[in-house]
Amino acid sequence: MDKRQFLKTSAILGVGLAATPSLSFCSTGTVAKPALLGGPKAHPGDFSGWPLQDSTEEKALMEVLNSGEWGRLGTAAATKGFEQGYAAMLGVPHVLGVTSGTSALYTILGALGIGPGDEVILPVYTFIATYNVVTLHYALPIIVDIDPESMQIDPVAMEKAITPQTAALLPVHIAGSPFDVDRVMEIGKKHNLPVVEDACQAHLAAWKGKKVGSFGIAGAFSFQASKNLNCGEGGAISCMDDNFFKSCRSFHHQGQGANTAAFSAPGEGIRGTNVRITEFQSAILNAQMTRLEAQAKLRSENAAYLSKMLNDIPGITPAKLYKGTTNSAYHLYMFKYDKTRFDGMELDKFIAAMNAEGVPCGTGYGQMNKDDYVTGLAKNKHYLKIYGEKTMNEWLERNHCPNNDKASSEEVVWMFQTMLLGSKTDMEQIAEAMRKIQKYAKELKNT
Ligand X SMILES: Cc1ncc(COP(=O)(O)O)c(C=O)c1O
Q: Which residue is nearest to ligand X (CB)?
A: 101
Min separation Cβ 300 and ligand X, Å: 19
d(CA 301, CA 446): 37
Decide: is 180 part of the binding site for ligand X (CB under 6 A). no
What track of x and - describes contact with ligand X for positions 194 through 213 (by CB under 6 A)?
A: ----x-xx------------
Closer residue to ligand X, CB minimum distance, 196 or 444:
196
Among 34, 148, 176, 235, binds ligand X (CB under 6 A): 235
Min dist. Cβ of residue 224 to ligand X (A): 4
Nearer to ligand X, 102 or 177 (CB): 102
Query: 146 or 200: whose CB is closer to ligand X?
Result: 200
Q: Does 130 bind ligand X (CB under 6 A)?
A: yes
Strand partners, 206: 211, 327
Which of 47, 86, 106, 127 touches ligand X (CB under 6 A)? Answer: 127
For the beta carbon of residue 218, count every other beta carbon within 10 angstroms. Answer: 31
Q: Looking at the DSSP assignment, which residues form a beta bridge with residue 204?
A: none
Choosing from 9, 10, 214, 222, the residue that interacts with ligand X (CB under 6 A) is: 222
- Identify which of residues 125 and 387 has a Cβ nearer to ligand X in the complex: 125
Are the beta carbons of 287 and 57 closer than 8 angstroms? yes
Applying CB under 6 A, among 60, 95, 129, 407 the residue interacting with ligand X is 129
Minimal distance, residue 133 CB to ligand X, in Å: 8
Task: Report the candidate in 217, 238, 195 with the shortest Cα–Cα distance to residue 96.
Answer: 238
102 binds ligand X per the rule CB under 6 A:
yes
Number of residues that bind ligand X (CB under 6 A): 14
Footprint of ligand X on this chain (CB under 6 A)?
A: 100-102, 126-127, 129-130, 172, 198, 200-201, 222, 224, 235
